[in-house]
Amino acid sequence: MSRTTISAAAAGTWRLGDLTVNRLGFGAMRLTGTAPFDHGVPRDRAQSIAVLRRAVELGVNHVDTAAFYFSTTRSANELINRALAPYPEELVIATKVWPGRDASGSWHWASPDELRGQVEENLRQLGRDHLDVVNLRVPPSSRGGSIAEHFGALAGLRDAGLIRHLGISNVSSEQLTEALAIAPVVCVQNPYGIGAAPEQHTLLRRCGELGIAFVPFFAIAGSRREAGASVGVGDQEGQAVEAVARAHGVTVAQVRLAWTLQQGPHVLAIPGTGDVRHLEENVAAGALRLSAEELALLG
């Protein structure tokens, strides 16, 4: 596929409430430094801005971000504002709250009463009067607990007009049920990719039955998280992915993205990068179609 014909539209579309997005989106986490949340050498500002603008040129209209995506000298939200404002009408920006970081980078988890401040900080940094989608990012320690208080607080901010649609992140099926009893949920953002645990496959299928978008994070890296898709070469999973990549003449990361997108029409992808070439490869993966045999081989 040539550089000029790459388009995120090749992956198809899905609706987040009343907002239509191309299923191949962009995650902003890697824009701020050489590794997520690091305090070392920041990425070149002009390069990060160029990546964002190229993403939109390629048809990406779903950008995932958060106020806590920052390093010592870079903020993902402010880079998005600088690169893309005034925002295209079709651009959907999704953010997330509950985790927070102070200026030193130290983490904390917000109380329900503090969520409004986090929403307002996202609004300020992005230069918007409302947020398209806000995901409640559940702490690992709360995966088995109630999210009703926090999600209820976000529902109140939605009713107040600060948020258009709500999502939940890093959740169980039971927590999805709890949230749906409070307010509509347009997306579930959970770790997912080749080799995902059975409960994540089950949750993905349930979201499809409910018409809710399933938005994997770490779809390329999987359990290796920020380390990237190159790790694990030589194991059975890695060998299978490499074999499929060779057959198509594409990268391992592209195969992982294509596999993820073919798990259902409601599955979105938000791969992140700070490099234009990698961005173009990620977007091109939206047009890659794996055979039934290849899908079975990869699990």
Q: How confident is the model at residue 105 (pLDDT cuts 50, 70, 90)?
A: confident
Domain 20-233+267-274 has CATH 3.40.366.30: no
Residue closest to 263 by CA, chosen among 296, 225, 232, 221: 296
Paired sense of beta strands 92-97 and 13-16, if any? unpaired
pLDDT digits (tens, 9 = 90+) for 202-227: 999 999 999 999 999 988 975 544 33
Distance CA 68, CA 293 (A): 41
What is the pLDDT at residue 226?
Answer: 38
Q: Which residue has the higher pLDDT, 224 or 152?
A: 152
User: Helix axis angle, 276-284 relative to 252-261, nearest 10°?
Assistant: 40
pLDDT at 269 over 60: yes
Residue closest to 266 by CA, chosen among 204, 190, 201, 178: 204
What is the pLDDT at residue 103?
Answer: 85
Distance CA 91, CA 93 (A): 6
pLDDT at 158 over 70: yes
- Burial code of 155-175, b = ≥16 C-beta within 10 A, e = fewer? bbbbeeebbbbbbbbbbbeeb
Region of residue 47 (phi > 0: left; psi between -120 and 50: alpha; otherwise: beta): alpha
Model confidence, pTM? 0.93
Q: Is 69 a catalytic residue?
A: yes
Distance CA 268, CA 165 (A): 16
Q: Catalytic: which of 68, 69, 70, 218?
A: 69
The whole-chain average pLDDT of the chain stands at 92
User: Helix axis angle, 115-126 relative to 148-159, nearest 10°?
Assistant: 50
Residues 68-83, mean pLDDT to the nearest whole number: 94
User: What are the extents of the domains in the chain?
Assistant: 20-233+267-274
pLDDT at 70 over 60: yes
